[in-house]
Structure formats: C-alpha cells, structure tokens
Amino acid sequence: MDFNLKKLTSDAGVFFTRAVQFTEEKLGSAEKTELDAHLENLIARADCTKNWTEKIFRQTEVLLQPNPIDHTGARIEEFFYEKLDKKIPSRTTNGELLGQYMLDAAKDFGPGTPYGSTLITVGEYQSRLGGAEREFLQTSAINFLTPLRNFLEGDWRTISKERRLLENRRLDLDICKARVKKAKQAEAKAACEGDLWSEEVDKAEQELRVAQTEFDRQAEVTRLLLEGISSTHVNHLRCLHEFVEAQATYYAQCHQYMQELQKELSSANSDTYPNSFASNAKPSTSATCPSPVSSATLPGVSPPCLASSSTPGIAQEPSGQLKIQDVQQPSTGHRKAKVLYDYDAHDTSELSLLADELITVYTVPGMDPDWLVGERGNQKGKVPVTYLELLS
C-alpha cells in the first residue's frame, strides 16, 4: 500500500511538472526542444493519412449503407458482432425484398394476367439485382473497409500512443534543461558555496543525460512507426484497386440484368399488343443513333438521328403514297407519348414537336416502324419514334 501511494504521489508530481512546463512553453516563458525536420514531416504525413483515411472510411460506409439506422437495427447488430469478433450474417437487401414483394403480389393478382406475369418477371430481376448488391457489399467490406478500419483502430492507435510518449519524453528533457540552467545560474551567484552548487549542477546534468537518452530512443521508435505509413499507403492502394474492381463487376451485372429485363418486357409487350405500337427497343436502322437524352438538360447534345430511308414515314402503296390527312385515329390502340426533343417537320406530312409536350400517337397498317402518326389538337402528322417516350 505504501509503495502504491508513493508511486501515485510520484506520478502526480511528474504530471504536475510536465503541466507547468507545457504551460510555460505556451506562454513563451520556457524553451522548447524542436523535433528534427524529418520527424516533423513524418508526423504531418501521418496526420494527413489518418484524417483522410477516416473521411474515406466514413463516406464509404455511407455509400454502401446509406441508411444504417433503419427498422432492422442493422448498425446496432453490426456493432455487437464486431465487438464479439463474430462474422456478420448475410442480410436481405432492399432489392431482394422488393423482388419478393412483387412475386407475392403477382400471386394475388394472378400470374396469368399481364400485370401479374410482368410483376413476376420484374420481381425475379429485382432479386438478382439485390443479390448482386449483397455480394458487392460483402466484397467491399472485406477488401476495402476492413483494412481501413484496421489501420484506424490498430496501427494508428499504436502510433498515437508512441507519439504521446515522445511528447512526455520531450517535456522531461526540457524540464531537465531548465534545471541545469537554473543550477548554473545559482552556482554563479553563490561562489562561496561552490562545492554545494557544483553537486547540484552535476546531478542536474546527469538527469539531463538520462532524459536525452530516453528522448532519443523514443524518437527513434516513433520515427520507425511513422515511416511505416508508406507501407500503409501501398496496402490501401491495393485495397482501392480491389474496391474499384468490385464496383465494376457489380455495375456490369446490373447493366446486364437490366438489358435482359428490357428485352423480356419488350417481347412480352409485343406478344400482348402485336399490332398496336412500335417496339420501345432501339430500332434497327442503317444509321447509328445515340441514346435518347433530353437536349433540354444537356445543351449541345444532338437529338437522335433518324433512320436513313428513301421514303420514310408511311409506306408506299401501289397506287401512290398514303396521304396523312386521310388517316383516321383508330378507336383502340392509341396512347399518349411525351416528346423528348424538339423536332421540325420536313414537309406537310410531318408534325413539328416541342420537347416535353404530350401528344396522341398511333400506328396504321403500312407505316414504317420508325414512325407513328401523331395528333395534337386539330394538327396531325408523322412523328419519329426515337423522339418520343411512349406512356402507359
């Protein structure tokens, strides 16, 4: 008990002395030993690495799990699994959950109905998308998030501990320097007691040598740890490549699934409405057309080109070209369409269009599949399919 009390008293005295030295340095009344330039650069580089690694880690967590505190309590569950050092169980993604809801809804609506069969198709692909997302999340957590977390919670804590110890050794060194300086000043003033003050100077210088040795040793340990930051950068670079690779694989899978889904839906629509509308898929033409992106939102982007044809629009009849004015809107098979781009009619058989307006469109026997008949009020004319978004 006495030993512990003495140690506690000694530690309190050391802490108080260091606090006084630190305060005097801040006030400018005490000298401070500066670290060498190389060590200062290493410390600044380490602080920069820690700060940006922490920001990247947190933002990646937000990217992979935008709403961690949801009704499932995912973040709390992950916290306990991490503390227990156990593997986090696989969790159903939102895409998989949406797909399951669609499949269940299709059972109630009737899988034989157009809506029910489409729900089944879309639900299956949503489940696939959700599975791809789950695999991406797991791969990113293992290959990218875990190494960053290990650095912040492991290597950086060790570095911080050694840096605090180095700061204490520096304070002890400066305290010893101050004691030697005071002892020499007192020796000069009390020349008559030279022997006594000579002993005090020798004691202070001995303590200074010990403090200098401990400071140098701790500076070397800290320097070696800080130089390891270069290896950390190399490791994080490899992890970053793996993260990008996982992203590329995930988005490629999503793109493939969505293309397959669009093909299935287009095929299903053609079977359900064989003669009503032109297919929503990109028409097969001799000219290459860009994807339909609104020219109103992207200035300078040209609207999609039209298929090259010697007689575009309504096909030629043996007795001559069918006149657009003679075409009558059918009682069924017409629908609304949103105009994606401005279009100027090239002749009286075509209808000029303004972006974002709604028109009624339909097809008639003998029409080129790249064109529809469009009506806006009393106006009527041919319109290119690639300039339209057909609405249900």
DSSP 242-263: HHHHHHHHHHHHHHHHHHHHHH
User: What is the average pLDDT value for the chain, to the nearest integer?
Assistant: 79
Helix (H) or strand (E) holding 78: helix 74-83
- Give the up-direction half-sphere exposure of residue 155: CA atoms within 13 A in the CB hemisphere: 23
| Residue with more model confidence, 365 or 51 | 51
| Residue with more model confidence, 304 or 33 | 33
% of residues, the chain, pLDDT over 90 = 44
User: Residue 254: pLDDT band by 50, 70, 90 thresholds?
Assistant: very high
Domain boundary among 240, 256, 272: 272
Domain boundary among 272, 293, 323: 272
| 300 falls within a domain | no
- Helix crossing, 229-272 with 37-64: angle to 10°? 20
Which pLDDT value is given to residue 68?
52
- As a whole number, mean pLDDT of residues 192-214 equals 78
| 289 falls within a domain | no
| Residue with more model confidence, 180 or 126 | 126
- Domains identified in the chain, total number: 2
Are 245 and 374 within one domain?
no
| 360 falls within a domain | yes
| 143 falls within a domain | yes
State the Cα–Cα distance between residues 129 and 144, nearest whole angstrom.
21
Lowest mean pLDDT among 29-33, 369-373, 378-382: 29-33
- Helix crossing, 37-64 with 114-140: angle to 10°? 160
| 372 falls within a domain | yes
What is the residue whose two structure tokens read 């159903």?
Answer: 92
How many CB atoms sit inside 10 A of residue 126's CB?
A: 24
| Residue with more model confidence, 12 or 328 | 328
- As a whole number, mean pLDDT of residues 12-28 equals 72
Are 265 and 376 within one domain?
no
Token pair of 130, please? 């959700």
Are 254 and 372 within one domain?
no
Are 238 and 90 within one domain?
yes
Sign of the CA dihedral with 152 first, then 154, 156, and 160 last: positive
State the Cα–Cα distance between residues 19 and 122, nearest whole angstrom.
68
Helix, strand, coil distribution of the chain in percent, nearest 5: 60, 10, 30
| 316 falls within a domain | no
Q: Are 175 and 21 in contact (CB under 8 A)?
A: yes
Residue 142 DSSP one-character state: I
State the Cα–Cα distance between residues 338 and 65, nearest whole angstrom.
35
| 305 falls within a domain | no
Taking only the tens place, the pLDDT of each residue in 129-140 is: 999 999 999 999
Q: Domain range for residue 127?
A: 31-272
Are 361 and 234 within one domain?
no
| 288 falls within a domain | no
Q: Are 371 and 313 in contact (CB under 8 A)?
A: yes
Q: What are phi and psi of 312, to 5 degrees?
A: -65, 160
Q: Is the confidence at residue 176, as pLDDT, over 60? A: yes
Which pLDDT value is given to residue 369?
84
- The CATH number assigned to the domain holding 51 equals 1.20.1270.60
Are 252 and 341 within one domain?
no
User: Residue 86: pLDDT band by 50, 70, 90 thresholds?
Assistant: low
Are 226 and 367 within one domain?
no
State the Cα–Cα distance between residues 298 and 74, nearest whole angstrom.
40
How many CB atoms sit inside 10 A of residue 273's CB?
A: 12
User: Residue 392: pLDDT band by 50, 70, 90 thresholds?
Assistant: low
- Helix crossing, 156-189 with 194-227: angle to 10°? 160
Lowest mean pLDDT among 48-52, 97-101, 143-147, 300-304: 300-304
Q: Are 257 and 132 in contact (CB under 8 A)?
A: yes
State the Cα–Cα distance between residues 282 and 279, nearest whole angstrom.
8
Domain boundary among 224, 252, 272: 272
Q: Is the confidence at residue 89, as pLDDT, over 90? A: no
Helix (H) or strand (E) holding 374: strand 371-376
Instruction: Find how far residue 377's CA is from the centre of its chain.
Output: 48
Nearest Cα to Cα of residue 169 among 221, 205, 206, 204: 221
Contacts of 239 (CB under 8 A, 6+ apart): 143, 144, 147, 148
State the Cα–Cα distance between residues 272 and 114, nearest whole angstrom.
8
Residue 226 exposed, middle or buried by CB count within 10 Å (0-12, 13-18, 19+): buried
- As a whole number, mean pLDDT of residues 43-70 equals 86
Q: What's the CA dihedral at 203, 206, 210, 213 to 10 degrees?
A: 150
User: Residue 304: pLDDT band by 50, 70, 90 thresholds?
Assistant: low
Are 58 and 139 within one domain?
yes
User: Residue 75: pLDDT band by 50, 70, 90 thresholds?
Assistant: low
Which residues lie across from 72 on neighbouring strands?
Answer: none
Which pLDDT value is given to residue 317?
42
CA end-to-end span of the chain = 86
- As a whole number, mean pLDDT of residues 172-201 equals 75
Burial 274-287 (b: 16+ CB within 10 A, else e): eeebbeeeebeeee
Which pLDDT value is given to residue 228?
93
Are 181 and 252 within one domain?
yes
Lowest mean pLDDT among 65-74, 124-133, 149-158, 211-220: 65-74
User: Residue 72: pLDDT band by 50, 70, 90 thresholds?
Assistant: very low
State the Cα–Cα distance between residues 335 and 361, nearest whole angstrom.
6
What is the residue whose two structure tokens read 């791809």?
Answer: 132
Q: Is the confidence at residue 353, as pLDDT, over 90? A: yes
* Residue type for position 252: A
State the Cα–Cα distance between residues 250 and 243, nearest whole angstrom.
11
Which pLDDT value is given to residue 270?
62
